[in-house]
């Protein structure tokens, strides 16, 4: 029944991979949030929390393109297994240190740096492994969307689980859970067939950044949609930085409304991923790729001018939907068009455009909110996104002589 709606689930290997992905990512979120709680408990310093998260997420900006350039069907599984072994070793080391009662700040920051490097290698290798397991365009799009669903579920459940476990059980339980979850994913990947053998590919060791770049420069959809993804990541994803500020300054209760706003955005993101993973909706949904970013700009503007909680919640649903929909649909569409040998390079370029733009937008939003206000930052982001979309689409609309929303006709 599930395979009827979600084509990727028809394949046993894909089901095995996605199950392991959900479990391991849940463990990763538990570990990362526990590191944040330990650093805050030890220092009470927002600056140290910023340094910790820079070490957790910053290395991927440099590591991911370098690894993606060397990825191919023949080595994606091997690299994934090696990175999972490294992640399990880090989690086990933290577990042993927690049991011994020795968790100095230097150890926590060092573990964060190792996790950041490993994550930069892990994300592209896992994605390429998944793509080479599936066959057919419908299954590929569904698998990419379901991979996003797994990430969103883990992001929703993991932080809460870490917070619930931290006080009564202590960090050793969280680190042990993360190690076990990584071990489960390791076992799942080890049971998968070799993608190179399955696809009859034996010599493709490189993902080809140059090949992917040539494809994007020559593909009419690629030259439009990848910049649109960058604009959305830069402007819409910045709402994450502004949520606590809005919750405290506009709505007067930071803990209460921060949780609700993040939940609303997460719900919208999950709905987008589920829609795109269905065989019955995905094809029609892709026609909205140019409409949804404009809805994000509208939601940013409305959010900047409202103090009504119900309206704000609806805006955050739209913003979460926008980021998830544009990122997932664009990734699926481009991977269906790119030559298989260039998929590794495309993963690197896409992650650089999407993940690399996010921290820039969040830093911009935080700086503007600090100097002006959170609503002022939202207005600025809405203006920047609208200008970027108009710049990207306007020339093509002028050449067509009309406003066209179907990306396949622009």
Show which of 206, 223, 255 is a domain's final residue.
Answer: 206
Question: Residue 50 burial (CB < 10 Å; 0-12/13-18/19+)?
Answer: exposed
CA 228/CA 234 separation, integer angstroms: 10
CA 245/CA 251 separation, integer angstroms: 9
Nearest to 346 by CA among 231, 229, 199: 229
> Based on the domain organization, do 228 and 135 belong to the same domain?
no
Q: Which domain holds residue 110?
A: 1-206
> Based on the domain organization, do 185 and 286 belong to the same domain?
no
DSSP 305: T
pLDDT value for 358:
75
For residue 403, give Cα distances in angstroms to 393, 398, 399: 9, 8, 10
pLDDT value for 119:
86
pLDDT value for 14:
84
Angle, CA 366 vertex, CA 161 and CA 294 arms, to 5°: 90
> Based on the domain organization, do 166 and 190 belong to the same domain?
yes
**Cβ within 8 Å of residue 289, ≥6 positions away:** 225, 228, 326, 329, 330, 333, 407
> Based on the domain organization, do 85 and 118 belong to the same domain?
yes
3-class SS of residue 203: coil
pLDDT value for 206:
47
pLDDT value for 390:
92
pLDDT value for 60:
76
Structure-token pair, residue 114: 């190792």
Q: In angstroms, how far is CA 341 from the centroid of its own chain? A: 23
> Based on the domain organization, do 43 and 143 belong to the same domain?
yes
Could you tell me if 337 and 214 are in contact, meaning their C-beta atoms sit under 8 angstroms apart?
A: no
Could you tell me if 382 and 301 are in contact, meaning their C-beta atoms sit under 8 angstroms apart?
A: yes
pLDDT value for 197:
47
> Based on the domain organization, do 173 and 304 belong to the same domain?
no
Structure-token pair, residue 369: 């909110």
Show which of 191, 206, 221 is a domain's final residue.
Answer: 206
pLDDT value for 296:
94
> Based on the domain organization, do 94 and 54 belong to the same domain?
yes
CA 108/CA 117 separation, integer angstroms: 15
CA 49/CA 234 separation, integer angstroms: 22
Q: Count CB-CB contacts under 10 A for residue 366.
A: 16
> Based on the domain organization, do 175 and 249 belong to the same domain?
no
> Based on the domain organization, do 266 and 364 belong to the same domain?
yes
> Based on the domain organization, do 232 and 377 belong to the same domain?
yes
Show which of 160, 182, 206 is a domain's final residue.
Answer: 206
> Based on the domain organization, do 92 and 227 belong to the same domain?
no
Long-range (24+ apart) CB contacts under 8 A made by 24-27 are: 24/84, 24/181, 24/182, 24/184, 24/185, 25/150, 25/151, 25/154, 25/155, 25/158, 26/153, 26/154, 26/157, 26/158, 26/161, 26/181, 27/91, 27/158, 27/177, 27/178, 27/179, 27/180, 27/181, 27/182
Nearest to 350 by CA among 230, 187, 255, 270: 230
Could you tell me if 317 and 311 are in contact, meaning their C-beta atoms sit under 8 angstroms apart?
A: no
> Where do we find the tokens 């071990």?
183
The pLDDT tens digits along the chain (410 residues) read 454 556 667 778 888 888 999 999 899 988 988 887 888 778 877 567 667 777 887 787 788 777 776 776 677 788 889 999 999 999 999 999 999 988 999 999 999 999 989 988 887 888 778 777 766 555 666 777 777 778 878 877 777 778 778 878 889 999 999 999 999 999 999 888 765 444 444 344 444 667 778 888 888 888 888 899 999 988 998 887 777 677 777 887 755 676 677 778 878 888 887 777 765 555 566 678 888 999 999 999 999 988 888 999 999 999 989 988 888 888 878 877 777 777 767 777 887 788 777 777 877 777 787 788 888 889 999 999 999 999 988 888 888 888 878 777 76
> Based on the domain organization, do 195 and 264 belong to the same domain?
no
CATH number of residue 102's parent domain? 1.20.1250.20
- In the chain, the number of structural domains is 2
pLDDT value for 384:
94
């Amino acid at each position: 029944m599930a395979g009827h709606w979600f084509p990727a689930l028809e394949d046993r290997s894909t089901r095995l991979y996605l199950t392991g992905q959900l479990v391991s990512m849940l463990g990763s979120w538990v570990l990362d949030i526990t590191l944040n709680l330990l650093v805050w408990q030890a220092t009470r310093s927002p600056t140290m929390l910023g340094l910790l998260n820079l070490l957790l997420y910053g290395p991927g900006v440099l590591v991911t393109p370098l690894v993606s350039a060397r990825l191919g069907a023949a080595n994606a599984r091997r690299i994934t297994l090696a990175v999972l072994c490294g992640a399990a070793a880090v989690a086990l080391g933290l577990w042993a240190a927690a049991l011994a009662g020795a968790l100095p700040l230097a150890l926590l920051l060092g573990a964060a740096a190792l996790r950041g490097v490993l994550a930069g290698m892990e994300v592209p290798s896992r994605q390429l492994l998944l793509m080479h397991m599936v066959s057919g365009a419908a299954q590929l799009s569904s698998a990419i969307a379901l991979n996003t669903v797994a990430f969103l579920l883990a992001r929703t459940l993991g932080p809460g689980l870490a917070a619930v476990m931290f006080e009564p059980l202590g960090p050793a339980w969280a680190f042990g859970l993360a190690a076990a979850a990584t071990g489960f994913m390791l076992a799942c990947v080890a049971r998968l067939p070799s993608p190179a053998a399955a696809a009859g590919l034996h010599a493709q060791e490189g993902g080809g950044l140059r090949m992917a770049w040539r494809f994007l420069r020559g593909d009419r959809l690629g030259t439009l949609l990848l910049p649109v993804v960058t604009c959305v990541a830069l402007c819409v994803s910045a709402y994450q930085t502004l949520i606590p500020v809005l919750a405290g300054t506009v709505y007067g209760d930071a803990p209460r409304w921060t949780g609700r706003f993040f939940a609303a955005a997460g719900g919208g993101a999950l709905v987008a991923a589920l829609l795109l993973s269905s065989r019955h909706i995905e094809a029609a949904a892709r026609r909205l790729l140019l409409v949804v970013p404009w809805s994000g700009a509208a939601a940013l503007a409305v959010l900047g001018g409202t103090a009504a909680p119900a309206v704000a919640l609806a805006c955050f649903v739209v913003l979460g939907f926008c980021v998830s929909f544009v990122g997932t649909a664009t990734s699926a569409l481009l991977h269906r068009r790119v030559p298989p040998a260039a998929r590794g390079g495309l993963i690197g370029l896409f992650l650089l455009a999407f993940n690399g733009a996010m921290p820039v937008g969040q830093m911009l939003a935080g700086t503007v909110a600090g100097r002006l206000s959170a609503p002022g930052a939202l207005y600025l982001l809405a203006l920047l996104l609208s200008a970027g979309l108009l710049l990207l689409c306007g020339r093509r609309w002028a050449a067509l002589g009309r406003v066209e929303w179907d990306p396949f006709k622009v």
